[in-house]
């Protein structure tokens, strides 16, 4: 299988049922991958007090939290890469980290503006 991209891709999304109610359930999904297959990560995470203590469960918050988690996972992947001795000046490592694309669903312009 041949990939059509040569970059790390980060897909994020957040969702919420019964927006803003006391019984609301929210969650986020993050998927990260690139053409080298070295760091593939895919998780669905419930948004509860362990993730975002005391905050109301709303769709926009779940989407923001998913984007933040995606960036955090990318940061951890980079640190693991360096710790394993894959120096940033090596051609493959530099190429892999040069282009990173965050793909989030079309949501409120506030997320788009805050990430650009």
Per-residue pLDDT tens over the stretch 20-67: 887 899 999 999 887 666 678 899 999 999 988 888 899 889 998 998
pLDDT tens by residue, 61-91: 999 899 889 888 888 877 655 556 555 544 4
Give domain limits for the chain: 8-109
Rg (CA), the chain: 16
Alpha-helix runs per DSSP H in the chain: 59-83, 91-98, 109-115
pTM of the model: 0.69
DSSP designation for 108: -
- For residue 107, what are its two tokens? 């949501």
């Amino acid at each position: 299988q041949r990939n059509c991209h040569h970059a790390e891709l980060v897909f994020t999304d957040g969702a919420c049922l019964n927006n803003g109610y006391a019984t609301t359930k929210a969650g986020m999904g993050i998927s990260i991958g690139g053409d080298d297959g070295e760091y593939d990560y895919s998780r669905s995470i419930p948004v509860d007090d362990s993730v975002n203590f005391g905050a109301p469960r709303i769709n926009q918050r779940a989407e923001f939290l998913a984007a933040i988690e995606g960036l955090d996972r990318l940061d951890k992947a980079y640190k693991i890469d360096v710790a394993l001795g894959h120096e940033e000046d090596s051609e493959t490592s530099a190429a892999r980290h040069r282009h990173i694309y965050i793909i989030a669903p079309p949501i409120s312009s506030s997320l788009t503006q805050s990430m650009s």
